[in-house]
Structure 1
Amino acid sequence: MIAEIVSVGTELLMGQIVDSNAAYISAQLPAIGWKVLYRQTVGDNLERLTQTLKLALSRSDAVITIGGLGPTMDDLTREGIAAALDEPLVLDHDLQQELQQKFQQRRYPMVSSILRQAYRPACARPLPNPNGTAPGLIAEKGDQVVIALPGPPAELIPMFNDYVLPYLRERAGGEPGVILSRILRVCGMGESLVEDRIKDLMQGSNPTVAPYAKTGEVHLRITASAPSPEQAQAMIAELENRIRERLGNAIYGVDDQTLEQAVMELLWAKGATVAIAESCTGGLLGHRLTEVSGSSKALVGGVVAYSNELKVRLLGVPEKVLREHGAVSEPTARAMAEGIRRLTGADYGVGITGIAGPTGGTPEKPVGLVYIAVASSGGTRVAEHRFIGRRSEVKWRASQAALVMLREELL
């Protein structure tokens, strides 16, 4: 079965909002036998919206619209669906009553424009929206179906999961098979090397594996099509095992697991603690680690030591090191990692110093030069990196490299 997603809103075309809703829906549908072959975005214009919906209906088994169900004059999805299906808009008195009750309960003023949300195409039935005021719609006419969902994710996701997924699963009915995917997350290994190690496995047609380069890591998406979820999962597991044999510990996680989560889990498993001393990353490494719930069990604390004075006074970096080698150097990173470990009593200390740019570089020490050190009872390891990109990218890559180094020490 073929599904098509039509996202409605001029703000999407203008780049003011990123369409995370369409990505969410696209990720859910393959598991119930639906393939998303087309995604369109159209602005708040009734004529163009109607044309877009007619095109979608001509080539897809189900069309899912996102947004444009609100009460304002530029919320035109109801009208567009009615026009595309050649159906009149009718006032749903039950919806009208529900809207009035919602506003009375919340003590909001009820303006006349709100009642636009009580209209629907004559062939449509409403979908409840306990998290907002705009009901969704399922409009069926012959073998054509349009599903309309509200734009706010807090409203769309529950409505999609509770009503649309079961409906589409049932509608797929006799359509055999499901499509499942699993993502393997790889760090400390570039895309070219990853691809070289699994290039023969990438030739398969079912299941398939495809690499995607992300900032500081590589994702491998394994996809399998089979008559049942159990068979698809078995196919994925078999290919995953073969990939793991090739890549080993470079695979740090699966699906939505982040590198910081993987590092935290290793620290918890060892009963170990870590402290961090950051300069050019400005606390980004600490931020990423504290995004993990329960990080306080392993993260002792950290210092953002931008000035040389603070490096000396708090971290114990020798003035001679700074004078002879500079703040951005291997000896300084080493002293920072050892100093924060000594200061906090943590099992592991991480030090980061570098030049994030866009200014501050020299021929000897260019923008993007970063030194990262990890200190432990077994000694201190220091690595030099030369990152490219904007300031924010250099900072992110440095924090990523620090997590990779810490993970390697923990394995």
Structure 2
Amino acid sequence: MAWKAEIIAVGSELLLGQICNTNAQFLSKQLAELGIDVYYHTVVGDNPKRLREAILTAQNRSNLLIFTGGLGPTKDDLTKETIADALGKKLTMDDDALTDIQAYFKKVNRSMSENNKKQALVLDGSTILPNTTGMAPGMALLDSDITYMLLPGPPKELQPMFLQFARDYLLERLGMKEQIVSKVLRFYGIGESQLEADIEDLIDKQTNPTIAPLAGDHEVTLRLTAKHQSLAEANRLIDLTESEIRNRVGEYLFGYDEDTIYSVLFQNIKESQYTLASAESLTGGLFAEKMTSFPGASNVIKGALVCYTNDVKENVLGVSKETLEQEGAVSRKCALEMAESVKTMMKTDIGVSFTGVAGPEKLDNQPVGTVFIGIALPNKETIVHKLQLAGSRESIKHRTAKSGCHLLLKELFK
């Protein structure tokens, strides 16, 4: 049976924008790894009439309905009551869940109010999903060829429950005995459309592993997912596909899984025992802020200078007055002098500089999005890269800082 999944998040706070629907993102990723397609995301407020309408709509188009939120003790927590009513099911008290809730209140030395017992009510005939980090249990129920799964709203409760119990329930329903292995490949400096075009034939013939492209935050990722009864064989299939992809677009690959382009650059510089300093104009210290967020940063990043005005570029950093007057602050020559000066000033192995036009107006007769990145390396000539970026002011700043990471990785470790 091909599953069509729908994630239904319950909570007026989601509609009001008070919190983000991170549960849907988490569940979609987890279901993708199981080979279950998510067709719809639905958000509905704490209203039984509208929730019932959402259930009826989902029943007509999906056969795996996963609900998040609305399992708590208050009057507006109506998820399981509304589902029970829609399915004609009774709610029964789960003794194990009630015992766990009573034990929790005893542990924290608080008296348990009567309404907390409500959290131990479950759909009659459902499989209970224990809550190891909270009180309300989850549950799963098969009814008329549709699987209903109810999970708590707080991510700290939902995520452990899914990974420890709900995932196994779904695997059993799928009849899967294979090992599932996923690996995320992260790319920078290539657009999603270009990456897909370069590996289009691999995507078209994908079976096992599957290849799922995803763009976001100025980067592109590919999620490779393989299934096999042998874990070693699943990993081998992943490695073979990755090798084919690397042969085509490997120059843009910077990391895997939870890596960021900043963490990869930091780790490479740390392992090489280099030191780094930055001179930042349009990025305003963004690069240094990101690079100093890792433990042990003081062994890698000696310092940074935010030189936003020409006066600071000249009188603090030491960029020549002639360069600023004749070439301008947004120029190849200025970026070169900034990188070399900050490297000398802070006595580091590497100096990197960022100067350009973030907008909204042009500067030094350079259009918005013009960026120069200078890289002063140990025992090499200083290199300056010119970029022409598009987007909002904030987007240009972030893309500039990430581009600096990408270029440093290429120049230092190619």
Indicate the TM-score class for this superposition, using the shorter chain for normalisation: 0.7 to 0.9
Query: Any conservation in 2 of the 1:317–1:332 contact (CA below 8 Å)?
Result: yes
Deviation of the 1:92 alpha carbon: 4.5
Deviation of the 1:224 alpha carbon: 4.4
1:256 to 255, 258, 283: 258
1:285 to 284, 287, 291: 287
* Amino acid corresponding to residue 216 of structure 1 in structure 2: H
Trace 1:131-142 onto structure 2 (pairs within 5 A). 131-139=133-141
* Amino acid corresponding to residue 216 of structure 2 in structure 1: K
Mapped pair 1:182 → 2:197: no
TM-score for both structures, normalised by structure 2: 0.86
Deviation of the 1:390 alpha carbon: 1.4
Trace 1:141-220 onto structure 2 (pairs within 5 A). 144-173=146-175, 175=176, 180-206=181-207, 207-209=209-211, 211-220=213-222
Equivalenced residues, count: 409
1:310 to 309, 312, 320: 312
The 1:30–1:176 alpha-carbon spacing in structure 2 relative to 1, beyond 3 Å, is farther
The 1:101–1:196 alpha-carbon spacing in structure 2 relative to 1, beyond 3 Å, is closer
Gaps of 5+ in 2: none
Determine the structure 1 residue equivalent to 2:70.
68
* Amino acid corresponding to residue 82 of structure 2 in structure 1: G
The 1:33–1:409 alpha-carbon spacing in structure 2 relative to 1, beyond 3 Å, is closer
Which whole-Å CA distance do the structure 2 matches of 1:208 and 1:126 have between them? 32
Query: Any conservation in 2 of the 1:33–1:172 contact (CA below 8 Å)?
Result: no
Q: CA RMSD in A?
A: 2.9
Which whole-Å CA distance do the structure 2 matches of 1:54 and 1:233 have between them? 41
Greater shift, 395-404 or 250-259, is seen at: 250-259
Query: Any conservation in 1 of the 2:8–2:44 contact (CA below 8 Å)?
Result: yes
Gaps of 5+ in 1: none
1:64-118, CA deviations, whole angstroms, 9 ceiling, x for partnerless residues?
2111112333221121221233112344565455434433543557555444323
Query: Any conservation in 1 of the 2:328–2:364 contact (CA below 8 Å)?
Result: no
The 1:73–1:271 alpha-carbon spacing in structure 2 relative to 1, beyond 3 Å, is same
Which whole-Å CA distance do the structure 2 matches of 1:176 and 1:62 have between them? 20
Determine the structure 2 residue equivalent to 1:386.
388
The 1:23–1:381 alpha-carbon spacing in structure 2 relative to 1, beyond 3 Å, is same
Which whole-Å CA distance do the structure 2 matches of 1:145 and 1:248 have between them? 42
Determine the structure 1 residue equivalent to 2:24.
22
1:290-333, CA deviations, whole angstroms, 9 ceiling, x for partnerless residues?
33444333222212222333323432222332233333222222
* Amino acid corresponding to residue 287 of structure 2 in structure 1: L
Which whole-Å CA distance do the structure 2 matches of 1:216 and 1:33 have between them? 27
Determine the structure 2 residue equivalent to 1:370.
371
* Amino acid corresponding to residue 103 of structure 1 in structure 2: F
Which whole-Å CA distance do the structure 2 matches of 1:29 and 1:259 have between them? 26
Query: Any conservation in 2 of the 1:183–1:254 contact (CA below 8 Å)?
Result: yes
Which whole-Å CA distance do the structure 1 matches of 2:201 and 2:94 have between them? 58
Trace 1:391-402 onto structure 2 (pairs within 5 A). 391-402=393-404
Trace 1:70-109 onto structure 2 (pairs within 5 A). 70-92=72-94, 95-96=97-98, 98-108=100-110
**Does the residue aligned with 1:367 lie in a helix, a strand or coil?**
coil
Deviation of the 1:272 alpha carbon: 1.3
Which whole-Å CA distance do the structure 2 matches of 1:241 and 1:404 have between them? 21
Deviation of the 1:194 alpha carbon: 3.2
Greater shift, 293-302 or 335-344, is seen at: 293-302
* Amino acid corresponding to residue 148 of structure 1 in structure 2: L
Query: Any conservation in 2 of the 1:328–1:370 contact (CA below 8 Å)?
Result: yes
Query: Any conservation in 2 of the 1:51–1:84 contact (CA below 8 Å)?
Result: no
2:55 to 53, 62, 66: 53
* Amino acid corresponding to residue 357 of structure 2 in structure 1: I
* Amino acid corresponding to residue 243 of structure 1 in structure 2: I
Deviation of the 1:136 alpha carbon: 2.4
Which whole-Å CA distance do the structure 2 matches of 1:403 and 1:112 have between them? 57
Determine the structure 2 residue equivalent to 1:222.
224
Which whole-Å CA distance do the structure 2 matches of 1:164 and 1:49 have between them? 22
Which whole-Å CA distance do the structure 1 matches of 2:141 and 2:332 have between them? 65
1:235 to 234, 237, 248: 237
TM-score for both structures, normalised by structure 1: 0.87
* Amino acid corresponding to residue 246 of structure 1 in structure 2: R
